[in-house]
Amino acid sequence: MRTYGRSDQGLVRSENQDDFLIRPVEAQGYLLAVADGIGGGPAGSRASHMALTAMDDAVGLKVSDVSRLASALSLANRRIFELGKDEPRFEGMGTTLTAAVLFPHRLLVSHVGDSRAYRIRHDQIIRLTMDHSVAGEMERAGTITPEEARNHPKKHVLTRALGPFDHVRIDMADMPWSSEDRLLLCTDGLTSVVFDDEILRYAERYRGQELVDKLVNAALDRGGPDNVTLVLAEVVQHSGEGHGR
Ligand code: MN
């Protein structure tokens, strides 16, 4: 398995409040995560960085069940909440966090916020996470269509994040994985301007770092309105395979 990541400030924002993490764990696994910080001044970038560091420390080398990953997110939440409470300049700090532990035949996911995890296989792209945003909740409730959700004025307003409160509800998933599956984690800087079917079209043509770069460039071509961050994990195919599918 190979992993790839890139974070770009975009063309509008004055700093990059996104962050990502890629680290090997036992049993041929990888801990992978993206985080998108919220809060003015230094608060946002501090929150995303802190969340990844706290989670990384708490996960350790051996992860056998998803509750361990979720506990690590809870710990990160508490750390950010305490700092935001104690230091006025960090008031209101928070972050999304979409974290995965990927083994050759199993995937664990823990998630809060509107960053996303996707499973890509052949001509299929499946969202593995729900957006914890006002527009995302309305879309799931059937109040608005996916198209309306993309353009909703409150699409960036989060209904859940790490940091703002002392407790947070964390989504968890534990699922089988195949060597044909590719895992993509990304922040909303990608998905607010590049839609699922377009991501799939790029994924059908490109792999590895080239796919990551093409997707970041696609977001920049659409004006790069936000920080954009991607993490990709896939099994390397030998030359000759992967074509003509
Ligand atoms: Mn963002």
C-alpha 34 to ligand 1 mean position (Å): 11
Query: Which parts of the chain register pLDDT below 70?
Result: 239-245
C-alpha 182 to ligand 1 mean position (Å): 23
C-alpha 36 to ligand 1 mean position (Å): 5
pLDDT for 240: 52
Residue 135: CA atoms inside 13 Å, Cβ hemisphere, count? 16
C-alpha 115 to ligand 1 mean position (Å): 8
C-alpha 25 to ligand 1 mean position (Å): 27
C-alpha 187 to ligand 1 mean position (Å): 6
106-164 pLDDT, tens per residue? 999 999 999 999 999 999 999 999 999 999 999 999 999 988 888 888 888 999 999 99
Q: Is residue 223 a part of any domain in this protein?
A: yes
Q: Is residue 239 a part of any domain in this protein?
A: no
Domain count, the chain: 1
pLDDT for 40: 78
Q: Is residue 243 a part of any domain in this protein?
A: no
Q: Is residue 96 a part of any domain in this protein?
A: yes
Distances from the Cα of 158 to the Cα of 2, 172, 182, 205, 222, angstroms:
32, 18, 27, 33, 23
C-alpha 32 to ligand 1 mean position (Å): 18
pLDDT for 97: 98
Q: Is residue 241 a part of any domain in this protein?
A: no
C-alpha 222 to ligand 1 mean position (Å): 15
Measured CA angle at 112 (ends 111, 115), to 5 deg: 80
Query: Positive or negative CA dihedral for 40, 46, 50, 52?
Result: positive
pLDDT for 101: 98
Residue 3 parent element (H or E): strand 2-8
pLDDT for 237: 75
C-alpha 68 to ligand 1 mean position (Å): 26
Distance (Å, whole) CA 64 – CA 101: 9
Q: Is residue 108 a part of any domain in this protein?
A: yes
C-alpha 193 to ligand 1 mean position (Å): 11
Distance (Å, whole) CA 84 – CA 186: 25
- Residue whose C-alpha is closest to residue 101's, from 74, 72, 131, 121: 72
pLDDT for 239: 59
C-alpha 156 to ligand 1 mean position (Å): 8
pLDDT for 188: 96
C-alpha 17 to ligand 1 mean position (Å): 8
Q: Is residue 199 a part of any domain in this protein?
A: yes
Which domain, by its residues, includes 75?
A: 2-234
Distance (Å, whole) CA 57 – CA 228: 25
C-alpha 191 to ligand 1 mean position (Å): 9
C-alpha 86 to ligand 1 mean position (Å): 25
pLDDT for 236: 85
CATH no. for residue 179?
A: 3.60.40.10
Q: Is residue 27 a part of any domain in this protein?
A: yes
Judged by DSSP in three states, 151 sits in coil
pLDDT for 153: 87
pLDDT for 244: 47
114, 133 in Cβ contact below 8 A? yes
Distance (Å, whole) CA 111 – CA 214: 25
Length of the chain measured in residues: 245
